[in-house]
Structure 1
Amino acid sequence: MPELHQMFNRQRKYIICLLAIYVLGWGFTDHKSVFLGLTLGTALSLYMHWGMTKRVSKFGEAVVQGKKVRSLGTTSRMAAAALGVIIVTRYPEMFHLLSLIIGLMTAYIVIMIDYFFSSFKINK
């Protein structure tokens, strides 16, 4: 599954660039809680994306070998999202809840955009 790891590495770079932009926004604007929420959500999203990639890779290997696979980590992704919400509700003066939710969706948005760009390159 080298293609999966290539896609993950490319998407990881995009997410890290977004994190850098969010940190700059936190440092240079008056909307600190919004950018801190985006940063926390995107960091958790990157963690969830990494775990999902790892589990999909193991899933593919198990299918090839004819073994059973437990799950793709839905519980751990839900727990990471719940952890983010707990942090935001514990410190509402520092974090913005809607920004956290948008940050949690960042990896999925990056995956969709990367898919459209890569399919556009293949078709040309």
Structure 2
Amino acid sequence: MTDLGALNYFLGISVTRDSSGMFLSQRKYAMEILECAHMVGCNPSRTPVDTESKLGDGGTLVYLYMHDLRKPHFSALKRILRYVQGTFDYGLQLFSSTTNSLIAYLDVDCVGCPTTRRSTSG
């Protein structure tokens, strides 16, 4: 093994350390997406989806439209990119801890019913 120093960037995630812990962010990746779409500096959106409009009937599969995109689909994509523009500062804050314990939860009966493939333990 080789010590590569302090972790700054790994698997597309930027890591910033301070006295309270670490902050994980994908700001660089978000910027690359907006640059590819020529939408850097666009007006940000507070939500990724416009709740007022529909792309199609409920239950339709999105991949069916991949060969024939229409204006509503393009508008939805632009809305998502505007949401990305507005969430650059979002990330995951991991706080330092003095305890070295890990708490894990699991469902040992994850496929208890062979018919429905659902848990039978609740």
Q: What's the TM-score, normalizing by structure 2?
A: 0.29
Q: What's the TM-score, normalizing by structure 1?
A: 0.29
Higher relative contact order (CA 8 A, sep 6+): 1
Structure with the larger strand share: 2
**Who wins on radius of gyration, i.e. which is larger?**
2
